[in-house]
Structure 1
Amino acid sequence: MSSDTGEYTLVPLAEPEKSSDEGVRVNGSNEKTESSEKLESVQKCNTTCCVINFLKTILLLFLLYLFICSLGVMGSAFTLIGGSTAGKTIVNSEIMNNPISALMVGVLITVLVQSSSTSTSLIVTMVAADLIKVRQAIPMVMGANIGTSITNTIVSIGQVTNLKRFKKAFAGATVHDCFNWLSVLVLLPVEVATGYLYRLTGEIVGNTNAKANEKLKVDFLKIITKPLTKSIIQLDKGVIAKIALGETDSQNMSLVKRWCDKEDVMMEINVTESINGTNVTNLMEVTNYTNYIERCDHLFSHSTMSDTVIGGILLAISLTIMMICLVSIVKLLQSMLKGGVDRIVKKVVNAKLPGKVGKCLTGYITILVGAGLTMLLQSSSIFTSALTPLVGLGVVDLKRAYPLTLGANIGTTMTGLLAALANADARHFEEALQIALCHFFFNISGILIWFPIPFLRKIPISAAKKLGEITAKYRWFPLFYLAFMFFALPGLVFALSLAGWIYPVIFAGIVLTLTIIIVVINQLQKKAPQYLPRKLRNWEFLPQWMRSLEWLDNCMGRMSCLSRCCCKKLSREAEGESGQEEHTQDEKEETKLPNHITY
């Protein structure tokens, strides 16, 4: 009540304040709901990511399966195209007396059939038939070691669209070539001079009690890939061996296996022979006719096309599928290795064991891992081809890929040893085992030279890096490299060997001497130019075509420009012709119209 007026005034009552405990409870409940929502969203995101990654892994395995199968079909395609030629190549045993010619024949055969296992088994057949000796076959096995590395070099071209990845991938592929060529350059002269591989393996085979075992099977990965590859094409690789043995009936035989079940119906004939001036008549069984029972179940079992045509079709299809799978695998791996995953994978894959001893042993353990994986895959080509895109992505370092490649070389020889032990023909057993051992000890000897000593280990790696740098500068170089190293050079040496054994020896001596001189001068130019005459401190005194690939690059550029200009000219001419046709057609239509009436 007011004291002046005596009136009452209404004062609103204040609302009771909430206690601090109640405020904390409300805020706490809000925070709990928000955190629970966040946890649920994170859990949902993790579940979705796990499902996506699981599906990507399945897709990756499927693409890898198709990639491996396409490599198998590509090998069959090359066998169809060049298998008969490979068999005819080694019929002339006189050429095999020259180790350099035999080496190049081994390279050519393996490139033509795209399989060191096939070429090695062909060599074993020749030895068992006494057409060539084991000592003559050793350089051919060395050549097979070189020829098998063409596959991963072809695979590296699949990353040509990305220059950085292409550079790494080509270096990762050619480190295999560099090791094989360097090993041959050192060990072939040693073998010719001393015969250490022949003597060592001869002693091992002579003192062993190993016997052929028909039940020993070496099919691991083929159990999975055979159902698909056999439904596409099946080959009778025994025909190549028959051609190499000079059997007249095999000249017109097809490598495509069209009948899986057939039997020869025999008949007896009287054969008269003169023995010590006396005619003796004996009965001899000969083939009367062949009863064909069941056809094979593959795409070309009913085809009447030639082997070359079928091989060309399969080569085009397999290369297309291989490149599609390769690009898809690279893209898929890129998406799976986003964020910090790529760094973790790189650290794990390229990690070294702790301690000084562990760091030294890491490379040798990596070699064993490469050998084990190659034995599992039963092919060094498949393993190194799968490794090449990983090197291109940077997941596997070149220094780590090198020992894995060396392990692949050992793994493929172990597969050859198992195949030799599984040889059912006891007459061929010792020769097959000795050649397989020669292949094994050749690779072991190469590893002992080019891996344990750090200085020598850098040589093949540095050479592969240099080839990668050249590839980054000239994108046409890989095709030139493939054509020269695997076809032109072996073909040239083989052609020289036809003229006489001395010519390839002189050619090899000149090339080897020039290579050594150039390498020595290059090293002195980089590290100690003061010891060189002023003229030799750089290569500027030489013509451009002798010291650079610029002239060849200019030629390639002109050819591509010429082809583009021709294409543009043809397109313009086609457009002009079509325009003229349209113009003449319009004139004809105008002549058909009635004349205008003038008023």
Structure 2
Amino acid sequence: MMSYGERVGGPAVSPLPVRGRHVVRGAAFAYVPSPQVLHRIPGTSTYAFSSLSPVTLTEHSCPYGEVLECHDQLPAKLVQEEEQKPEPRLSQKLHQVGTKLLKVPLMLGFLYLFVCSLDVLSSAFQLAGGKVAGDIFKDNAILSNPVAGLVVGILVTVLVQSSSTSTSIIVSMVSSGLLEVSSAIPIIMGSNIGTSVTNTIVALMQAGDRTDFRRAFAGATVHDCFNWLSVLVLLPLEVATGYLHHVTGLVVSSFNIRGGGDAPDLLKVITEPFTRLIIQLDRSVITSIATGDESLRNHSLIRIWCHEDPPEAPTLMSRIEANISLANTTMEKCNHLFVDTGLPDLAVGLILLAGSLVVLCSCLILLVKMLNSLLKGQVANVIQKVINTDFPAPFTWVTGYFAMVVGASMTFVVQSSSVFTSAITPLIGLGVISIERAYPLTLGSNIGTTTTAILAALASPKEKLSSSFQIALCHFFFNISGILLWYPLPCTRLPIRMAKALGKRTAKYRWFAVLYLLVCFLLLPSLVFGISMAGWQAMVGVGAPFGALLAFVVLVNVLQNRSPGHLPPWLQTWDFLPHWMHSLQPLDGLITRATLCCARPEPRSPQLPPRVFLEELPPATPSPHLALPTHNATRL
């Protein structure tokens, strides 16, 4: 047992100061005022509490800076509730089995409503902002700027809540000759970023419990981090070399690709009968506005008249032509809730937005409660081991790629990466799926949504097949390139570390999640869009200093955590700056005072030690004359 104040593999350090009843940590210490310390049992995913004493940091201990994760890695409350109960009788066992069997179809029903609410939510956003999205796409002078094109892809996908819709508009514009393939590639990258907002919104529904919220938010934002990092590398590379444009052009010209039938409808076969009773949209209106056709500008997106046996229309452009050709044919009124209301598109969109959000939140809360009741005791252990355990050596490295195949397959079945990532977000929050396993599942989901786009492109007519297929391949190769950048080596999996940092921040400041959504998907893209429209000189003049400052801050933070001795004394902490510039506490105080009337105290769990937020503790100021307390401190 090492003595207090001793480093592993290094000389002893000075005693640490005490403030109140807490020892203030240095670079590798924290005081945990609890009689128990959580440790992982070697060779398993199980965590157990050890006895009171200072503990050396070993490969099986909690790594520095991740105390919260170690306390909450396994859903211990689910296991302990089951283990503390006495052995039930036979009648009680039968009752429990019957109850669980009844909960399974209920859970599937709530999952069905959850998926349908996501579809209706997408329709609501299209009603509220679809024509605006079409007008944004209409200006080709803006889209010729790669940075502006990226931002347009983000904003339009956030507006319509569907990367498939935005990608279809892009494919139609390229097919009609209104947009070059090279100009469409940044927009495709932006749509990849915008589609990740849905599961981040779903993660907000678990904000009631800090532990679940931390895990859920980290699991949702790992998708955002991957997309942003991929764009930061691949967009400059594409502008400089035309990498994606040339590679996909070679693929298209090398193969004799023939158009086929429509892309298969799998999950939509189950969900469309219900969602079509709520609302039916004529999405060709958005495409016609984007392609410069003003004939449908005053036409409502709400479909009023339908045809029993519509002709085959494999692309959105041919659907417009088909709708025009049906003018003299027999039509009948559609059967949905808003067919005869006479309400404008915006009003219907807001009504559907409110209703779908209520259903979405309710289904998610009920799903989480049912999962909590079903995943107890040994069931939780078995499921977690099956999902999170790697393949045996020497095939351990294959596990992540197998998870990608699973994620791609499931996304192909549901035909939406948003639906798949939103469905696994509650499981990540409960601790059933680890963030390390959710990462390859999310990457596979990115691949799965591109395969659906490829099949849809193959359904294009012969004269438009080449450009449509090339755009779909650009989306596919963008995600493949991102995986090659940020997955094969463990040291390159930066999205996991970034997502964990965001999760820890939201665990302490839950309002930070809303701020993150507004900044990353609205304010920052709008700011970049405005600067880019001023010309490349303004973009370089503003972007270069900001990028240099950001790189400097990241470098200093890394050195402060890993090697503070290489920094000058005044730069070893950020205390020389005003408090509001290096901490969220002042802003948190303002928000807390503003929302004090709505706040309620949180119950503290008796099983786990109190939370210690390491990042906000001040740095150590060692003093040899400072008396240490008689109780123990834990080495982290």
TM category (shorter chain) comes to 0.7 to 0.9
Please name the residue that 2:294 is paired with.
248
Once the two structures are TM-superposed, the CA of residue 505 in structure 1 deviates from its matched residue by: 4.5
Residue pair 1:60, 1:329 contacting (<8 A) in 2 also: yes
Q: Which amino acid aligns with 2:357?
A: L
Which one of 198, 203, 213 corresponds to residue 260 of structure 2? 213
Once the two structures are TM-superposed, the CA of residue 145 in structure 1 deviates from its matched residue by: 0.4
Matched, 1:110 2:157: yes
Please name the residue that 1:404 is paired with.
441
Once the two structures are TM-superposed, the CA of residue 152 in structure 1 deviates from its matched residue by: 0.2
Matched, 1:554 2:589: yes
Which one of 491, 505, 508 corresponds to residue 455 of structure 1? 491
Please name the residue that 2:276 is paired with.
230
Q: 1:421-440 CA distances to partner (integer Å, 9 max, x unpaired)?
A: 122x3232111110110000
Q: Which amino acid aligns with 1:259?
A: W
CA distance in 2, matches of 1:139, 1:232: 35
Which one of 497, 507, 514 corresponds to residue 472 of structure 1? 507
Matched, 1:429 2:475: no
CA distance in 1, matches of 2:325, 2:388: 61
Comparing 95-104 with 142-151, which one deviates more in the overlay?
Answer: 95-104
Structure 1 segment 533-572 matched on structure 2, within 5 A: 533-561=568-596
Residue pair 1:255, 1:307 contacting (<8 A) in 2 also: yes
Please name the residue that 1:325 is paired with.
363
Once the two structures are TM-superposed, the CA of residue 94 in structure 1 deviates from its matched residue by: 1.2
Q: 1:552-585 CA distances to partner (integer Å, 9 max, x unpaired)?
A: 2233224324899xxxxxxxxxxxxxxxxxxxxx
Matched, 1:129 2:206: no
Closer/same/farther in 2, CA of residues 55 and 527 from structure 1, 3 Å limit: same
Once the two structures are TM-superposed, the CA of residue 146 in structure 1 deviates from its matched residue by: 0.3
CA distance in 2, matches of 1:502, 1:296: 53
Which one of 93, 108, 111 corresponds to residue 64 of structure 1? 111
CA distance in 1, matches of 2:173, 2:548: 34
Q: Which amino acid aligns with 1:543?
A: P
Please name the residue that 2:344 is paired with.
306
Structure 1 segment 106-185 matched on structure 2, within 5 A: 106-185=153-232
Structure 1, unpaired ranges of 5+: 1-40, 264-285, 565-599
Matched, 1:490 2:525: yes
Structure 1 segment 89-108 matched on structure 2, within 5 A: 89-108=136-155
Residue pair 1:262, 1:291 contacting (<8 A) in 2 also: no
Residue pair 1:100, 1:505 contacting (<8 A) in 2 also: no
Once the two structures are TM-superposed, the CA of residue 50 in structure 1 deviates from its matched residue by: 3.0
Once the two structures are TM-superposed, the CA of residue 67 in structure 1 deviates from its matched residue by: 0.3
Comparing 47-56 with 535-544, which one deviates more in the overlay?
Answer: 47-56
Closer/same/farther in 2, CA of residues 507 and 302 from structure 1, 3 Å limit: farther
Residue pair 2:421, 2:445 contacting (<8 A) in 1 also: yes
Matched, 1:529 2:576: no
Which one of 395, 398, 415 corresponds to residue 378 of structure 1? 415
Q: 1:14-38 CA distances to partner (integer Å, 9 max, x unpaired)?
A: xxxxxxxxxxxxxxxxxxxxxxxxx
- What SS does structure 2 have at the residue aligned with 1:410? helix
Count of residue pairs brought into register by the alignment: 499
Once the two structures are TM-superposed, the CA of residue 42 in structure 1 deviates from its matched residue by: 5.8
Once the two structures are TM-superposed, the CA of residue 462 in structure 1 deviates from its matched residue by: 1.0
Comparing 404-413 with 120-129, which one deviates more in the overlay?
Answer: 120-129
Q: Which amino acid aligns with 1:386?
A: A
CA distance in 1, matches of 2:476, 2:488: 18
Q: Which amino acid aligns with 2:488?
A: P
CA distance in 2, matches of 1:205, 1:508: 36
Root mean square deviation of aligned Cα: 2.1
CA distance in 2, matches of 1:144, 1:361: 30
Please name the residue that 2:383 is paired with.
345
Residue pair 2:174, 2:180 contacting (<8 A) in 1 also: yes
Structure 1 segment 36-55 matched on structure 2, within 5 A: 44-55=91-102
Residue pair 1:259, 1:295 contacting (<8 A) in 2 also: yes
Once the two structures are TM-superposed, the CA of residue 92 in structure 1 deviates from its matched residue by: 1.3
Please name the residue that 2:399 is paired with.
362
Once the two structures are TM-superposed, the CA of residue 511 in structure 1 deviates from its matched residue by: 3.5
Q: Which amino acid aligns with 1:163?
A: R
Q: Which amino acid aligns with 1:503?
A: A
Q: Which amino acid aligns with 2:585?
A: E
Residue pair 2:263, 2:452 contacting (<8 A) in 1 also: no
Closer/same/farther in 2, CA of residues 563 and 351 from structure 1, 3 Å limit: closer
CA distance in 1, matches of 2:567, 2:492: 24
- What SS does structure 2 have at the residue aligned with 1:252? coil
Q: Which amino acid aligns with 2:276?
A: K
Which one of 354, 365, 375 corresponds to residue 316 of structure 1? 354
Closer/same/farther in 2, CA of residues 61 and 96 from structure 1, 3 Å limit: same
CA distance in 2, matches of 1:289, 1:546: 63
Once the two structures are TM-superposed, the CA of residue 514 in structure 1 deviates from its matched residue by: 2.5
RCO (CA 8 Å, sep 6+): is it higher in 1 or 2? 2
CA distance in 2, matches of 1:180, 1:61: 31
Which of structures 1 and 2 has the bigger CA Rg?
Answer: 1
- What SS does structure 2 have at the residue aligned with 1:90? helix
Once the two structures are TM-superposed, the CA of residue 153 in structure 1 deviates from its matched residue by: 0.3
Residue pair 1:95, 1:501 contacting (<8 A) in 2 also: no
Residue pair 1:95, 1:497 contacting (<8 A) in 2 also: no
Q: Which amino acid aligns with 1:520?
A: L
Structure 2, unpaired ranges of 5+: 1-87, 310-323, 600-636
Q: Give the TM-score of the pair, scaled to structure 2.
A: 0.76
- What SS does structure 1 have at the residue aligned with 2:377? coil
Please name the residue that 2:52 is paired with.
none
Please name the residue that 1:568 is paired with.
none
Matched, 1:519 2:565: no
